[in-house]
Amino acid sequence: MQSKFKQGATQITRLGRKGCDAMEALGRAGVFLGQSAVGIPSREGWRLWLRQMHFVGVLSLAIVLVSGLFIGMVLALQGYTILVDFGAEQALGQMVALSLLRELAPVVAALLFAGRAGSALTAEIGLMKATEQLTSMEMIGVDPLRRVVAPRLWAGFVALPILTVGFSVVGIWGGYLVGVEWLGVFEGSYWSNMQASVSFINDVGNGMIKSLVFAVVVTWIAVFQGYDLVPTSEGISRATTRTVVYSSLAVLGLDFVLTAVMFGGL
């Protein structure tokens, strides 16, 4: 009886410690974001940002655009088979554009971004930490937060919204290819129905706000996981996995909240 009670108490203690650890990590992450995202970048910082933009943005372009094309095409194909039952295939453009702009482009681009760029950021910074490059930087008086972390954060913040725009544009074009060129929806009604129903502020604007939020969250998680990991090879692999898992969950969860706030009243 006594030992059982003791065991239960240890369990509770462990739970409490886990909670405290999680809170500490969240606090560290917040301070980390605050310290690294502020401050005017120097000329050198600008160059570093540019290099990260190339890596995080330009090199992610291919996978994002190809996915966007296929998702737009699939949307048009699926939408057509449903809409044609109601004789409403003119509404295809509206359906493709609204689902891409409001939902699919921000979310899928963010998920791809987490897989393509986020995991690489974690692994890179993690290896820098494991090989003690970060510590040596501090020793020679260079702040690793400003030198290593800040350019990566800002590159992520800027790159993901641009990638999202590209995803939408290519997706709508893919929907046009399938719907108009292949299935024979009248071209004029594809575009005019879209223009009549898409509002720049409500649909494009809210999609951009979503993708900006996702950009901050995904990049933040990726960079922080790299900065905060246990500096061993196992630690790096775990942190990379955590980056993808946490960012995917955060993106999908936040997407629901943002959608409820933005479109819940419509």
Partner 1 sequence: MKRSKTMEFGVGLFMLAGILGLVFLGLRVSGLSLSAPTDTFRLEANFANIGGLKPRARVTMAGVTVGRVEAIELDTDWYDARVILRLDSDLEGQLSQDTTAAILTAGLLGEQYIGLSVGGAPEMLEDGDTIRDTQSALVLEELIQQFVSNMASS
Rule CB under 8 A: which residues touch partner 1? 47, 50-51, 53-54, 57-58, 61, 86-88, 90-91, 97, 101, 158-159, 161-162, 165-166, 168-169, 172, 191, 193-200, 203-204, 208
Count the Cβ atoms, other than its own, within 10 Å of residue 104.
Answer: 22
Nearer to partner 1, 25 or 58 (CB): 58
Name residues whose C-beta falls within 8 Å of residue 144's C-beta, 6 or more positions apart in sequence: 128, 134, 137, 138
Burial category of 34 from C-beta neighbours within 10 Å (exposed 0-12, middle 13-18, buried 19 and up): exposed
> CA nearest 191: which of 53, 73, 103, 91?
91
Q: Which residue has the tokens 């699939």?
A: 74
Q: Give yes or no for a contact between 179 and 96, defined as CB atoms under 8 angstroms apart.
A: yes
Q: How far is the CB of 39 from partner 1 (least distance, A)?
A: 21
Q: How far is the CB of 18 from partner 1 (least distance, A)?
A: 42
Nearer to partner 1, 17 or 47 (CB): 47
Nearer to partner 1, 60 or 248 (CB): 60
Q: DSSP letters of 1-54?
A: -HHHHHHHHHHHHHHHHHHHHHHHHHHHHHHHHHHHH-S---HHHHHHHHHHHH
Query: How many Å apart are CA 53 and CA 56, to the nearest integer?
Result: 5
Q: Give yes or no for a contact between 149 and 129, defined as CB atoms under 8 angstroms apart.
A: no
Name residues whose C-beta falls within 8 Å of residue 149's C-beta, 6 or more positions apart in sequence: 32, 36, 125, 223, 227
Nearer to partner 1, 53 or 134 (CB): 53
Nearer to partner 1, 194 or 239 (CB): 194
For 30, left (φ over 0), alpha (ψ -120 to 50), or beta? alpha
Q: How far is the CB of 229 from partner 1 (least distance, A)?
A: 28
Q: How far is the CB of 88 from partner 1 (least distance, A)?
A: 5
Nearer to partner 1, 58 or 230 (CB): 58
Q: How far is the CB of 32 from partner 1 (least distance, A)?
A: 26
Nearer to partner 1, 122 or 164 (CB): 164
Q: Give yes or no for a contact between 150 and 37, defined as CB atoms under 8 angstroms apart.
A: yes
Q: How far is the CB of 81 from partner 1 (least distance, A)?
A: 16
Q: How far is the CB of 159 from partner 1 (least distance, A)?
A: 8
Q: How far is the CB of 140 from partner 1 (least distance, A)?
A: 23
In angstroms, the Cα distances linking 17 to 21, 172, 205, 245 are: 6, 50, 42, 23
